[in-house]
Structures are given as structure tokens and as C-alpha cells.
Amino acid sequence: MMLGFLDIDHELVPVNWATGEHKSESYMVVNPRAQIPAIDDAGAVIWDSQAILAYLARRYDTSGQWFPEDPLTLTRVMQWLMLANEEIAALAWARVTVVMKKPRDGLAVLQNKGRTGIAILNSALAEIQWLAGTDNPTIGDVACFPYTGMAEQGEISLKDFSHVDRSIADIKALPRYTPMPGL
């Protein structure tokens, strides 16, 4: 999705997570954590969703919008990246548990952790449109978006989180938004 926002030409190389291809010896050379995604940008191999977002924004965003440099906004973006990596990522694991029948830490635990993250997002978004408090989205918004956008697939309703629901619609309305499977 970030590649689309930045209008970067790219080639997608499918990795079949369901069959364990991400744990293959050849993929482990790309990402020793055996996780998806990873990118190879002319020999610069980057893994981890948040690291990829930071790299792409610094490398290709000439406006500075996506990963601003001023200390306060940068710190706010980092806070949302950390929330995405912890509480919000639980939404993805709840989805995996429900949709793909791959149990992890227990569905209720994952759902509760995910709801905590959604509540934090919802509270912040009640006051601002974009998470860093800027006039436009940052990689913090992008990091949280897929997990919240697919929360209901993990049996987590967004009906009590109207500001998160609005934020999902705001991301989808951005120029060059590229739909992802499941969204």
C-alpha cells in the first residue's frame, strides 16, 4: 500500500504463508524472522512492516509528509508504529486464528489486546483526523490501517469505535490507495 501512496514501481513476489513458504531456507535468507513482508530495493533488503514503512518514506517521499523529521511529530509517529506492532497487531493474530484456523495465544486474549489498541486509536482520533496530529497521514496511520480494517475478520466489532471506522474510510479515500486482499 505504501508503494502505491509513493507511486513506486515495484514487482510483487508472492510468498505462500499458509503452506509455510515464509519458513523456507530461501526465504529465511531474505527475512531471518520468517515473517512477511520483506522488500529488496536494489540490494537493500528490509524486513518488518514498520521498518519498511520508515525506509520507503525516508528514501522516496520528497514531501516529508509520511515520516516528518521534526522531533515532536517524529515521536508521535513512532508511538503509533509501536502501538501497531503490539496491541494493534493482535488484531491480525485474531484474524489468523479465526479465518485461517491457526491458533496462537488464545482468541480471547488476542481480541482483548486488540480492543485495547482500537480504544486507544479511537480516543486519539476523536480529536484529530490523522494520528500524528498533522494535516495529512503518516506511516503511523498506514501501520495501523490494515489491522483495524480487517478487525472484524478476527471477530472484533468496530461498531463502538466510530472514529477508527472513519479513519479507515479516510485512508481508503487517499489518492493512489491500493486495496489489499481482505479490505
pLDDT average, residue stretch 175-181: 90
- Walk me through the domains of the chain, giving residue ranges and CATH numbers: 2-60 (3.40.30.10), 71-172 (1.20.1050.10)
Q: What is the pLDDT of residue 105?
A: 62
Phi, psi values for residue 42, rounded to 5°: 55, 45
pLDDT band at 182 (very low <50, low <70, confident <90, very high): confident
pLDDT band at 96 (very low <50, low <70, confident <90, very high): confident
- Render pLDDT for 54-83 as a digit per residue (tens, 0 to 9): 999 999 999 999 999 999 999 999 999 999
Is it the case that residue 103 has pLDDT exceeding 80? Answer: no
By C-alpha distance, which of 54, 8, 15 is closest to 35?
A: 15
- Render pLDDT for 111-136 as a digit per residue (tens, 0 to 9): 999 999 999 999 999 999 999 999 99
67-70, Cβ contacts within 8 angstroms, sequence gap of 24 or more = 67/138, 67/139, 68/132, 68/134, 68/138
By C-alpha distance, which of 147, 141, 150, 143 is closest to 170?
A: 141
Q: What is the pLDDT of residue 101?
A: 80
Q: Which residues contact 173 (CB under 8 A, 6 or more apart)?
A: none
By C-alpha distance, which of 129, 127, 115 is closest to 161?
A: 115
Is it the case that residue 17 has pLDDT exceeding 90? Answer: no
CA angle in degrees (0–180, nearest 5) for 60-64-68: 120
Is it the case that residue 104 has pLDDT exceeding 90? Answer: no
Q: What is the pLDDT of residue 130?
A: 98
Average model confidence (pLDDT) across the chain? 93
By C-alpha distance, which of 128, 176, 171 is closest to 148?
A: 171
Start-to-end CA span in the chain (Å)? 11
d(CA 67, CA 136): 11
Better-predicted residue by pLDDT, 151 or 105: 151
Question: Would you state the cell numbers that stand for residue 139, as one nine-digit string?
Answer: 506511516
Q: What is the pLDDT of residue 99?
A: 87
